[in-house]
Homo-oligomer: A and B are copies of this chain.
């Protein structure tokens, strides 16, 4: 056992925290268990995170990053020529990826949106963000980008650009949440995907 001076304990703790979040959601992120899985005594974590909330907040950030990456990947899947069709397809891609991510990674998604109320004493956090791999696209930013593209090619009514993020986001977020936790959690996947495409249609008509 090279238990002393682990060397990368911080990142290990974060990793294990992420795994716990993936498997069991916010409740599952138990400080003692994170330490256990990292092969370290339960209070070693306090060397690296102020408290449980601070760890949770960083896990949330990882969740957001992964969500952003999933959206980006789906957007990049679109192979159409530049123009309204392409812009529309890329906007749809953001929404589709969002919902699919939520359903594929319910625990991480829940942590990402569980408002943790971090105190802004977080010089910690900003460091972590820097250290992380190259700038990763925030979901909200990607949505804005997709909407900008659509607007630029005349794919939407120009006076509807403002606030469009929130409208799209609400629809897609609600759809995800209702199927995740909520009353629609038993809807079979086929119907769910079909419903999702209808939802994306509706959003498009709402904008156009």
Contacts and interface: CB of A to CB of B under 8 A. Distances in A.
Given A115-B181, A178-B169, A202 B207 contact: yes
Contacts of A181: 113-115
Contacts of A205: 205-206
Interface string A102-124: 00000000000111000000000
B115 A198 contact: no
A11 interface: no
Interface in A172-199: 172-178, 181-185, 195, 198-199
Contacts of A77: none
A192 to B, nearest CB: 10
A89 interface: no
A43 interface: no
Interface of A: 113-115, 140, 160, 163, 166-167, 169-178, 181-185, 195, 198-199, 201-203, 205-207
23 contacts: A113-B181, A113-B182, A115-B185, A140-B183, A160-B202, A166-B178, A167-B171, A167-B199, A167-B202, A169-B174, A170-B172, A170-B175, A170-B178, A170-B199, A173-B174, A173-B178, A174-B174, A174-B177, A177-B177, A202-B207, A203-B206, A205-B205, A205-B206
